[in-house]
Structure 1
Amino acid sequence: MFTKRVSSTIMVFSCFAIVFLSSISTTIFSESAFNDNASISIAVLAAIGLALTTAKLIFDTIHNICNP
């Protein structure tokens, strides 16, 4: 009855953050060049996803403030 719903944008943001942190840790602790290249590529894609998701969160917040 008193449960709060988490928006899907917040869930996507947290997933991108987890993927980004995981790929950075893989890059740091990896021993092979293949793993380094793959994790750097995934980190770039995750950073782009984080930026776009952050922009959507900001847009939704502004939209909710201006149109109550």
Structure 2
Amino acid sequence: MTSIALEMVLPGIVGLWIDRQLGSVMVFLILGVVFGMTAGMIHLVQFARRISEKERQAEKDANE
């Protein structure tokens, strides 16, 4: 879970740093936030699916 949180936040921080270095107006910050949130959500859904599959398998094994 920590890696997913970092994955969501870190690109925005890097984007902010790039914007400050280039003197641009939040272009890279916005791109970083969008990229980070998209990547984080994809991995969060994958994580939830794995947990759900493990629970279904454990329930199936318990019923046998």
TM-score range, shorter chain: 0.5 to 0.7
1:37 equivalent in alignment to 2:27: yes
1:1-40 mapped onto 2 (5 Å cutoff):
10=1, 12-20=3-11, 22=13, 26=16, 30=20, 32-34=23-25, 36-40=26-30
1:47 equivalent in alignment to 2:33: no
Task: Decide which structure has the larger Cα Rg and report it.
Answer: 2
Which TM-score applies when normalising by structure 1? 0.59
1:67 equivalent in alignment to 2:57: yes
- Name the structure, 1 or 2, with higher relative contact order (CA <8 Å, separation 6+): 1
Could you list the runs of 4 or more consecutive aligned residues of structure 1 that deviate by over 2 angstroms after TM superposition?
20-24
Give the residue type in structure 1 aligned to 2:36: A
Residues 51 and 59 (structure 1), Cα distance of their counterparts in 2 relative to 1, 3 Å cut: same
Root mean square deviation of aligned Cα? 2.8
Q: C-alpha displacement at 1:39, in angstroms?
A: 1.5
* Structure with the larger helix share: 2
Q: What are structure 2's unaligned runs of at least 5 residues?
A: 59-64
Percent identical among aligned pairs is: 4
Query: How many pairs align?
Result: 55
Q: What are structure 1's unaligned runs of at least 5 residues?
A: 1-9
